Structure 1
Amino acid sequence: MNAHELRPAFHFTACEGWINDPLGVTWKDGQYHLFYQYVPGRTTWASNCHWGHATSPDMIAWSEQGIAVAPGEGDDGVWSGSIATGADGAATMFYTSVTEPDIGIGTVRAATPDDENWNSWTKGEKLMTAPDPSVAAYRDPFVFRDGEQWRMFVGAGLTGGTAAAVSYSSPDLSEWTLDGIAAQRSGTETDPVWTGTMWECPQLFEIDGSHILVTSIWEDDVLHYVAYGVGTYADGKFAARSWGQLSYGKSYYAPSFFTDKDGAPSLIFWVRGVISPKGQWASALSIPHTLTLDGDTLVATPHTDLAAYSQPVQLEQVDGNLFEAELSNGADLRCTVGAGTVISLATLDEALVTLRHDGDSLAVTAAGNPDFADALFPVDAGSEVRVIIDAGVVEISGRQGIMAVPLPIVDSPVTLSVANASAQQLFTIQRPPASSAGSGRKAALAGQP
């Protein structure tokens, strides 16, 4: 690759090609393993997806390891899934095998690693597909431990416009029994949030005694946002007592659930719209987020692994309630917002993104991006907001949700301005070592070599 290409510093991107869903994040032998949907040789999605592989000591400094599983042997595409690791440390990958032309209904297939590095995997048999004609879409197996057995949820869309997760159980990760529908919700239900007509990447986990089903909202080949239900789970069935929207805007999608090395529940997202200036790669993955519950609100907070690369810096008071800083690296802004708060990033020539608080929410505008023309991000006045800034992407988080905003990657100085906010703190984020982040990456915001 071009050693002087600009790209994000601490958001994973492939050296070349297209990526989407992150998959199978696992802490093993002192490092994290990350897999992801990968289409080499192009910068747009295609159905012949592979599983790419990367490793990191801390979920920030990723090293690309190559292709773990590729199409072939009966697969026209190797689509999303998960990895289950038994008590003996043996791992099994479960992925969606698709064949043309009916790629909407996949088949769950297993694979096992060839060695301890997990760099290559051997495919096993195809296990199951849509159980009956009422299942019109079927993909994305998620496998987790469920008491004395294993449980698999597969994302589905049912005829008539109902989103669902299909449930299976297994004593040994090899023999599986269909147990019916684990959860479902009609596409006509909109209160308090619409959850689509098909669930992609449905994943179940527990926080503080409550079960959470996180899923990506799909309808008619349109990718929307990430939603979640909070409720109870037993015997392969999930019952939601409340529903909520986690992500806002048209960038975050298809998060992957995992527990970090300390056991904390976490998510990492696909970030749509981050594009190489020279057309060599497309899409990025988010920083990892730690999950907590506040009542029935799922809160995603940037993971503390980012702190190892952060140093506090001062914003310069320019005039009254206006503060500025010139950024040559990434940044982590923390501030309390209220009516009239304005946060912006700009070069000398143009504004890149502007966040304006109207008293109820932030209106987010990214120059030249129609998907982010006053896109609304809910945040009450008096609440803290974090804004993580990297080349090509901004991630915004607060108690009420998260938003990623793709930006042009520029080779010029960038100024952060903060007006009418309180309790602001700014941390600069240094890029990880080049040998860890990917060979030859140039990752500064302002064209640093």
Structure 2
Amino acid sequence: MTQTQPQINSGHRSTGTVAHLRPAYHVRPPSGYLNDPNGPIEHGSDVHLYFQSRPTLDLRAPVEWGHATSPDYVHWTLHRPAMAPQPGGPDTDGCWSGNTVLDDGRIHAFYSGRVEGRPYQSVLTAVSDDGGASFGPAHQVVPDPDEAVMFRDPFVWKENGTWWMAVGAGSVDRGASIALYRSPDLSQWTAVEPLAELPRTRAGGEDTGSAWECPQVLTIDGRRIAVIASWSPEGGPGEVLSFDVDVPPATQRVDLGTNFYAASALRESRFGPLLFGWLPEGRDRPGWNDGWAGVISLPRMVWLGADSSLRSAPVPTMDTLRSGSASPTAIGAQCEIVVPEGVGEVILHFGDQERLQIELTDTTITIDRSQASLAPHAHGGRMVATDAFDPSSGRPAVRIFLDGSVVEAFTSAGRVLSTRVYPTTPPPWRLEAPANTQCWGLAR
């Protein structure tokens, strides 16, 4: 039986002046290092979300699959890890990224197993017989490649009665690719032609990578949309990109902020197709002085824009976190700021010398965190999204979610910018914004 741990906002807080930086309504364990979300799945009345997790900040510790559940995608309960490395097994040095599927009432996980010294992470499967709380022994389902730059992160789905598996890959000669397999029964897998390939290039100013991590495949408006994380041996993680797999890849960024990677998709949910992502730290490693790092993004409904780019909005149940109107002169670390329409500036004044500036024009949104923190290890910089607003959408011009050090901004045209800020001054903070701005405190 899995022992349920306290709710995410149950009082696990850092001591000292950094306590206000800890997220309260985003998913993350009380301590340790978190990165990729894995395998979100609806089972019964709950959604299960798994994620790569280490109990400490020591990156040499083997990765486990952390586990959280929610009845509504907003109020999350943390549980014991659902999967841990098997000593001497095919994942003895880490249970890495993958996804889950439901078949005959059982949840099947497909993921990458790491063994120190092996050139590739093996594609493994394991089955849960207790509703997703834990998974049994793992075994390998497809052979390791003969030669590749990278090979990992399976994503399995069922389409027209056939099971399909996409695996992130890359080769010196052919560039980044999504390897593809098919199966009638989740057991026997046959390799077919790659789902997509792209020699390394720059598209829209972005490096498409020499290999692709965390491939996800969605079906939207009858089109197969791939979501990948670009990667290179010398540079590591790049950006999350999307493209239509049935036309020559024209990649576009999924999130226009500075801190979003390793997206994980739920192809079908009560809100349609969804994405989760990893919000890595926006501070150098010496600044991780409070025992935790990494956060999972808010779940995002996704659709295609007129330019075929993937657009996003928060799930509608996010409204249930609103705890009453907040005073602009006393903003807390957990709040939602909404500008219904128009142009202007939203400025979060953290202190006399710390502020986050968000500028709205007729077409663009710019987030400037160059003055957001006096902390020596905090990152700065500006991020811009064009074609940001669609007054006919029925959505506000921008919804800004603040949760400690996390900022996620969603525009009416479905653009999203995720970033991290580290003000040294604790709340209350002051909001300067257009007269029509609304603000709510958020509480779980």
When normalised by structure 1's length, the TM-score is 0.83
CA pair 282-148 structure 1, distance change in 2 beyond 3 A: same
| Structure 1 residue ranges without an equivalent (≥5) | 233-238, 316-323, 433-449
Instruction: Report the equivalent of 2:394.
Output: none
Instruction: Report the equivalent of 1:101.
Output: 117
CA offsets 1:348-372 (integer angstroms, 9 cap, x no match) = 3442422245774414213257885
CA pair 425-380 structure 1, distance change in 2 beyond 3 A: farther
Q: Distance in 2 between matches of 1:107 and 1:391?
A: 37
**How big is the alpha-carbon RMSD for the aligned residues of Structure 1 and Structure 2?**
2.8
Give every structure 1 segment of 4 or more consecutive aligned residues whose post-TM-superposition deviation is greater than 4 Å.
1-4, 274-278, 336-339, 357-361, 368-372, 380-383
Instruction: Report the equivalent of 1:80.
Output: 97
CA offsets 1:31-77 (integer angstroms, 9 cap, x no match) = 1111100111x225346211111111122222111111112223221
CA pair 374-191 structure 1, distance change in 2 beyond 3 A: closer
Q: Distance in 2 between matches of 1:408 and 1:391?
A: 8
Contact 2:333 2:427 in 1 (8 A): no
2:72 partner SS:
coil
CA offsets 1:243-272 (integer angstroms, 9 cap, x no match) = 311113431111110146415111111111
Find 2:349's aligned residue among 346, 365, 368: 346
Find 1:270's aligned residue among 264, 267, 278: 278
Report matched runs for 1:115-264 at 5 Å: 115-116=130-131, 118-133=132-147, 135-160=148-173, 162-191=175-204, 193-220=206-233, 221-232=235-246, 239-240=247-248, 242-259=250-267, 261-264=269-272
- Structure with the bigger RCO (C-alpha within 8 Å, sep 6+) is 1
Contact 2:174 2:198 in 1 (8 A): no
Q: CA deviation at 1:332?
A: 1.8
Q: CA deviation at 1:215?
A: 0.9
Q: Distance in 2 between matches of 1:138 and 1:231?
A: 19
Q: CA deviation at 1:219?
A: 1.6
Structure 1 position 286 matched with structure 2 position 293: no
CA pair 313-390 structure 1, distance change in 2 beyond 3 A: same
CA pair 338-177 structure 1, distance change in 2 beyond 3 A: same
Q: Distance in 2 between matches of 1:311 and 1:124?
A: 44
Letter in 2 for 1:89: G
Contact 2:350 2:425 in 1 (8 A): no
Contact 1:299 1:401 in 2 (8 A): yes
Contact 2:256 2:415 in 1 (8 A): yes
Q: Distance in 1 between matches of 2:326 and 2:293?
A: 34
Aligned length: 410
Higher strand share: 1
Q: CA deviation at 1:338?
A: 6.9
| Structure 2 residue ranges without an equivalent (≥5) | 1-9, 391-396
Find 2:380's aligned residue among 373, 378, 381: 373
Q: CA deviation at 1:336?
A: 6.0
Q: CA deviation at 1:208?
A: 1.5
1:247 partner SS:
coil
CA pair 44-312 structure 1, distance change in 2 beyond 3 A: same
Report matched runs for 1:306-321 at 5 Å: 306-311=318-323, 313=325
Q: Distance in 1 between matches of 2:197 and 2:61?
A: 27
Letter in 1 for 2:380: A
CA pair 223-338 structure 1, distance change in 2 beyond 3 A: farther
CA pair 407-325 structure 1, distance change in 2 beyond 3 A: same
CA pair 240-204 structure 1, distance change in 2 beyond 3 A: farther
Structure 1 position 67 matched with structure 2 position 78: no
Find 2:34's aligned residue among 13, 16, 19: 19
Q: Distance in 1 between matches of 2:224 and 2:389?
A: 30
Letter in 2 for 1:124: A
CA pair 65-328 structure 1, distance change in 2 beyond 3 A: same
Contact 1:229 1:242 in 2 (8 A): yes
Instruction: Report the equivalent of 2:54.
Output: 39
Contact 1:336 1:422 in 2 (8 A): no
CA offsets 1:260-309 (integer angstroms, 9 cap, x no match) = 64151111111111789862221111111111122212111111121111
Letter in 1 for 2:348: L
Letter in 2 for 1:379: T
Instruction: Out of 260-269 and 284-293, give the one that drifted further.
Output: 260-269
Q: CA deviation at 1:114?
A: 3.9
Instruction: Report the equivalent of 1:438.
Output: none
CA pair 357-284 structure 1, distance change in 2 beyond 3 A: same
Contact 1:110 1:125 in 2 (8 A): yes
Contact 1:231 1:242 in 2 (8 A): no
Instruction: Report the equivalent of 1:442.
Output: none
1:308 partner SS:
helix
Contact 2:46 2:71 in 1 (8 A): yes
Q: Distance in 2 between matches of 1:65 and 1:213?
A: 31
Find 1:330's aligned residue among 325, 328, 334: 334
1:347 partner SS:
strand
Q: CA deviation at 1:122?
A: 1.0
Contact 1:309 1:429 in 2 (8 A): yes
Contact 1:357 1:363 in 2 (8 A): no
CA offsets 1:112-146 (integer angstroms, 9 cap, x no match) = 11423x2221123212244332x220000000012
Instruction: Report the equivalent of 2:315.
Output: 303
Q: Distance in 1 between matches of 2:12 and 2:431?
A: 31
Q: Distance in 2 between matches of 1:226 and 1:92?
A: 25
Contact 1:338 1:381 in 2 (8 A): no
Instruction: Report the equivalent of 1:51.
Output: 65
CA offsets 1:415-436 (integer angstroms, 9 cap, x no match) = 24344x4753333322x1xxxx
Contact 2:90 2:138 in 1 (8 A): no
Contact 1:352 1:407 in 2 (8 A): no
1:427 partner SS:
strand
CA pair 114-247 structure 1, distance change in 2 beyond 3 A: same
Instruction: Report the equivalent of 1:362.
Output: 366
